[in-house]
Homo-oligomer: A and B are copies of this chain.
Amino acid sequence: MSEQQVRPDADLDVTAEVERRARLAKEAGRELAALTRADKDALLLRLADALDAAAPTVLPANEADLAAGREAGLADSLLDRLRLDEARLAAIADAVRQVAALPDPVGEVVRGSTLPNGLKITQVRVPMGVVGMIYEARPNVTVDAAALALKSGNAVLLRGGSAAARSNQALVEVIRQVLTEQGVPADAVASVDDGGRAAARALMRARGLVDVIIPRGGAGLIAAVVAESVVPVIETGSGNVHVYVDAAADHEMARRIVVNSKTHRPSVCNAAETLLIHRNVAPALLPVLLGDLHALGVTLYGDAETLRLAGDVPVEPATEELYDTEFHGLEMTVAVLDSIDAALEHVRRYSTGHTEAIVTNDRVAARRWTSGIDAAVVMVNASTRFTDGGEFGFGAEIGISTQKLHARGPMALPELTTTTWIVEGDGQVRN
């Protein structure tokens, strides 16, 4: 990448350079689009081996990022996400092998028919072209994004957090080397990290050169990309996820689902943040649920009725703001409601449209829930943790979309493609 250095202090130069790389990526993407599945899988398997062998260049670069990060006072959690070691690098390589094993979405026939005039129309999946990734300082995303893009026949321009710039550069070198070895233009994968924030801006404005931008990171990053980008964005959203325990819930099932939804992996977007419970079942069941959660270290915030029923379990008063919070940790808000309608109303008010679950043995209540909720995933009698590309059997997951266009819910390789209509005739014209 050294021949591609740009001066981050000169925005116009950065824009021109990002556009130049996007043009090269677009050309390279045309060659990728023509590769067979066998070509792409061979490329990815070679890349996995090359990553396994790349510790001597990648780990020192990562060490330099870590040292700079410590000096800059980065939080321990950020440093941990930034850190690579032999084991993590091996895991990254393995993830590439898993992408190689997935079916190729390109060429899939989505639908088709023969029109009354004899024209044969076929809608076929084709690569997007050039994917722009804007993400935070996590070097694994660099390889992950490149592997998913290559498998779906797309070129990719990468803009990672500057704290990981040295690690990303080392990884991108490995990828480009492998591309060249395999006879694919290296420009199919390029970083624009060297252009800093100006490069991210240029990427978001490269309409016509970049086909889609996928932001991956916190809510702030995503909101900024949505606001600024004129390139279409596929948003991966945050999850303010609710579990509603209905009057007709099985008590043991409710305990299992509430505990699993909240505590199985509280830092991720499909973890539950709020427990809603029907008034009729609250006196018998809520104290047990609160006890379960408290025993697992969950800090609880409840409405007046929850506080009244909590018994010995410590519960702080809930607020509007707390009901509106995605905790990413062992905290949970609780509300006792008069009806399923009140629960639907609460969810409408606070939901981010990610995953909303009901626990009930009542068919009517289940139907009301599945038809009344506006979310990517609606669960009946299952843990919210199942909203996941891997669990859904997609193999890979680029993220979970909480937007309504193009993709909603877990996104995998087909979501990195678009379609084209092939129309075949023998001279038909319109009258």
Q: Is A322 an interface residue (CB 8 A)?
A: no
249-280 of chain A: CB within 8 A of chain B:
250, 252-253, 256-257, 259-261, 264
Known contacts A34-B371, A429-B257, A430-B260, A376 near B421 by CB under 8 Å:
yes
Residues of B within 8 A of A392 (CB): 115, 121, 421
CA distance A360 to B410 in the complex (A): 42
Q: Is A70 an interface residue (CB 8 A)?
A: no
A404 → B minimal CB distance (Å): 4
- Report the copy number of this chain in the oligomer: 2
Q: Is A10 an interface residue (CB 8 A)?
A: no
A-side interface mostly: mixed
Residues of B within 8 A of A421 (CB): 376-378, 387, 392, 408-409
CA distance A385 to B260 in the complex (A): 56
- Cβ contact of A379, chosen from B253, B409, B425, cutoff 8 A: B425
CA distance A393 to B121 in the complex (A): 10
Residues of B within 8 A of A383 (CB): 428-430
Q: Is A424 an interface residue (CB 8 A)?
A: yes
Q: Is A183 an interface residue (CB 8 A)?
A: no
Please classify how large the interface on chain A is, using the bins under 10, 10 to 19, 20 to 34, 35 or more.
35 or more
Q: Is A391 an interface residue (CB 8 A)?
A: yes
Q: Is A342 an interface residue (CB 8 A)?
A: no
CA distance A386 to B391 in the complex (A): 42
A401 → B minimal CB distance (Å): 10
Q: Of A92-100, A171-179, A227-235, A294-302, which stretch is located at the interface? A: A227-235
Q: Is A381 an interface residue (CB 8 A)?
A: yes
Known contacts A404-B418, A405-B232, A420-B375, A381 near B427 by CB under 8 Å:
yes
CA distance A378 to B126 in the complex (A): 12
**In the complex, per-residue mask of A99-122: 1 if CB is within 8 Å of any chain B CB, else 0:** 000000000000001010001010
Interface residues of A (CB under 8 A from B): 30, 33-34, 113, 115, 119, 121, 123, 126, 128-129, 207, 211-212, 226-227, 230, 232-234, 250, 252-253, 256-257, 259-261, 264, 366, 370-383, 385-387, 391-393, 403-406, 408-409, 418-430
The 5 closest A-B pairs by CB, nearest first: A382-B425, A260-B429, A404-B418, A253-B427, A406-B406
